[in-house]
Structure 1
Amino acid sequence: MHELALSQGIIDVIRDQSAAQGFTRVKTVRLVIGALSHVEPEAIAFGFDAVSRGTVAEGAALEIERPPGEAFCLGCEKPVPLAERSDPCPHCGGHQLVVTGGEELRVKELEVE
């Protein structure tokens, strides 16, 4: 489960920010996890709960934004929505797609005390 390692990475970011900014408690963590990122939000939530124990983020609410996949079709030269990496262009049926969005995984915002 790579989500547990990713959850630990989120805690590392929070720990670094806590040291830099001097906050002692995190109330809310807002994440952006793109639909094409191959990361399961439920697994991140489970992992976050486990690895946040005993840290400034223990008990913090976890809010997850899930931006959709997007691509640019080289065949018809249009931006297109993309549910799965293997999906064809909905306009021309081609597979010459360059992913332009939906791959991200980042901490967007921390609400702290």
Structure 2
Amino acid sequence: MHELSICLALLDQVQDIARDHGATSVDRIRLHIGPLSGVEATLIQQAYPLVAAGTLAEHAELIIDAIPVRVYCNQCGDETEVKPNRLLCGRCGGHHIRIVSGTEMLLAHLEMTRPDD
């Protein structure tokens, strides 16, 4: 389960950001995860409490937003949302496409508490 190591790396990043801002705790973490990222959101949710125990983010709410797969078609120039298992242009059906989104796992938002808040 590589999601455990992903969670460890995520928490390292979150704690570094929190410390850089002088935070005493992390209240909310928002991730964007695309279906082509190779990361299972449910496994991240399950691993998170184990990894976060004893950290600044121990009680943080973890929110995971599913990001759709979007492609740009080199044939018709349109950008469309497609299914992860059907990487064709949603407008013309062309297969000369470039994936625009859906492959990412991104730390999108972090809410923290600082002593002066």
TM-score (normalised: structure 2): 0.85
Output the amino acid matched with 1:83: K
C-alpha distance 39-45 of structure 1, shift in aligned 2 (>3 A): same
1:78-89 matches, cutoff 5 A: 78-84=78-84, 86-89=86-89
Once the two structures are TM-superposed, the CA of residue 11 in structure 1 deviates from its matched residue by 0.3
Structure 2: which amino acid aligns with 1:77? G
- Count matched residues: 113
Using the size of structure 1 for normalisation, the TM-score is: 0.88
Cα deviation, residue 54, structure 1: 0.9
Asked if structure 2 preserves the Cα contact closer than 8 Å seen for 1:36 and 1:83, the reply is no
SS of the aligned residue for 2:10 comes to: helix
Q: Which runs of 5+ in 2 are unaligned?
A: none
Q: Percent identical across equivalent pairs?
A: 34
Q: Deviation of residue 93 (structure 1)?
A: 2.4
- Structure 1 residue ranges (4+ consecutive) displaced by more than 6 angstroms after TM superposition: none
Q: Secondary structure at the match of 2:15?
A: helix
Equivalent-residue separation in structure 1 for 2:90 and 2:32 (angstroms): 25
Structure 2 residue aligned with 1:6: 6
The Cα of 1:85 is off from its aligned counterpart by: 5.4
Aligned-residue CA RMSD in angstroms? Answer: 1.6
CA positional deviation for 1:100 = 0.8
Q: Which residue of 1 aligns with 2:72?
A: 72
The 5 A counterparts of 1:37-56 are 37-56=37-56
1:27-38 aligned within 5 A: 27-38=27-38
